[in-house]
Every structure is written in structure tokens, then in C-alpha cells.
Amino acid sequence: MPMADEMATLLFPSHGFTTALKDSLVRTVLRDRWQETGIWYARPPGDQGDWHVDDDFAQVRGLRAHREENGELLAWNRGRGWGFVVCGSCGYAEEELRMGQQPPPTFRKHVPLNRLKGECAGGANPIRNMWLAAKEPTDILRLDFSGVPVPEFTNIAVPWTLGLALARAACEALDLDPRDITALGPPPAGPAGLPEVLLYDNVPGGAGHVLAAAALERDWLQLAERVLYVDEDHDRRCLRACLDCVLEFDVNSETEAALDRPGALALLRRLLD
């Protein structure tokens, strides 16, 4: 989410996004390391809306679960940090290279988005520094630890790892594909400034998965503990995270290095004690 001291203009295309007709589609799990993207829930927690709050969730004193059926996520991409320059005629967009600079030469003479050749006349009147954005309805669950003494949360690796463990545990308990539930990472900061664990159905419109997982309450947290522990040999050798516990095949090495499986396991055991 744009920080409180950031001014950002979000652009929501009426009919979504598309690849330029002249560009070839590339299927890959690699991500552009320069692009800054993010996801957040569109309705802030101060707006009660359709949030349903469970106090002392899973019999953990102070832990609050915020559930929202058919909530809304906000996804954005701000390129390299300065947004995108967008053609007001055809919708073609390129990353801004620097604030205040002229648009890239390739933009000024770009081919119209829906054509294979030619030069678009709209390149002379661009829309500058836009963050590309979209809203997606789905079911959302937020775990708020602000009422629990969790000094471990000063290290963002712990709540991030905990979220991944809860997502995998939910999928195992509900017999789902691991991709059906996503834990947002890095975890966002809640109203109290502490990171929150946010999980959502990776299905447009939601399918009730995270809500069903929340209904399991303590059993769900206990299964997440087993996901993190696995067995004695794994507990001894896995210092960050691995495919045997919380990682999936499409996770990059930077994410793996940012996790803390032992710290998340110690926290979860303390909460369940």
C-alpha cells in the first residue's frame, strides 16, 4: 500500500490489462527485480464494512481474527518507483525512468497497443507517473497480534514465515491445492504498527477457503506447528525454510533468505502453550 507520506495516483483500467499486440507472450516464473509491486486490502480496517472479528482467536489471549467474505484486495505496480507513463490514446504504458525526465524514446514513438506496426499519435500527450492498479474481490482473513506480546514480530521474517505455514496448513486440512490460499508477504503493518498475517483465497470472488480454515481455530494453528516442525531431522537442518515445510517451487532465493522457520515455530509453540 502507498505509505501515508507517499502521494500516488492509481490507474484502474476499465477493462483490465493486456499485452501489446506486437509483443510475444513469455511464460516464466521469473520476476522483474526492478518492479515494485504490492497487494493490500481495499477496505481499511477502520472501516468495519463486512469484517467479522473473533477475539481471543484459537483460544490465544489477545489474538484477533478479522474475517471478510467477498472482500476486496488492491494490487498495484509502480514500476521502478516512479510509476508508468501511459498513452492517453491507446493505453500503451512504459516504466518511468526518473521523476521529471522526458518519457523514454521508445514511448514517444510507440506502436499502438492493438496494432502490429505504425506510430501512435498519442505519444505526444502522455499521462505521467501512474501506478497501475486493479481490485480483486475474494475472501480475506487478517490475524492481528497487536494484543499479544510478540517481540518476535520486530523481525518481519517471523510473521512472514508464520503466514506461509498457516496457508499450507489450511490447504492440507481442507484438501486443497497449495495455490488456493495465499499468505501475503512481506506481511503488511496493521493499525498498531505490528505486522499482520493476511491470507486470502487465490480465487476471484473467493471460495470460502480462508473462512473454513479460520473455523478450525486451534486445530489449524496446531497443524501449522506440525508444518513448521515436520520431524526431528528437519527441525535440526532447516534454518530458514525449505520445500519440506513452507516453500513452494516458484519461491525465489531472496524470499527464502528472508524467512525464519525456527523463529516462527518457537512463537507458535509459545502461543499454543
Q: Give residue-wise pLDDT tens across range 78-100.
A: 888 889 999 989 999 999 988 87
Q: How far is CA 11 from CA 56, 102, 232, in A?
A: 39, 20, 50
Work out whether the CA dihedral 199, 204, 205, 206 comes out positive or negative.
negative
Q: How far is CA 22 from CA 124, 251, 262, in A?
A: 20, 30, 48
Check pLDDT > 50 for residue 33: no
Q: What is the DSSP secondary-structure string of 25-93?
A: P---S---TT--EEEEESS-TTS-TT-EEETTGGG-TT-EEEEEEEEEEEEEE-TTTT-EEEETTT--E
pLDDT tens for 237-273 read 999 999 999 998 877 777 888 899 999 999 999 999 8
Check pLDDT > 60 for residue 34: no
pLDDT tens for 208-233 read 999 999 999 999 999 999 999 999 99
pLDDT tens for 162-212 read 999 999 999 999 999 999 999 988 887 777 777 889 999 999 899 999 999
User: Would you place residue 3 in the very low, low, confident or very high pLDDT band (cuts 50, 70, 90)?
Assistant: very low
User: Would you place residue 42 in the very low, low, confident or very high pLDDT band (cuts 50, 70, 90)?
Assistant: low
The answer, as to whether pTM is greater than 0.85, is no
Interatomic CA distance for residues 2 and 71, integer angstroms: 19
pLDDT tens for 113-143 read 999 999 998 777 899 999 999 998 999 999 9
Q: Quote the cell numbers at residue 173.
A: 486440512
Lowest mean pLDDT, pick from 15-24, 31-40, 165-174, 231-240: 31-40
| Helix (H/G/I), strand (E/B), else coil: 213 | helix
User: Would you place residue 35 in the very low, low, confident or very high pLDDT band (cuts 50, 70, 90)?
Assistant: low
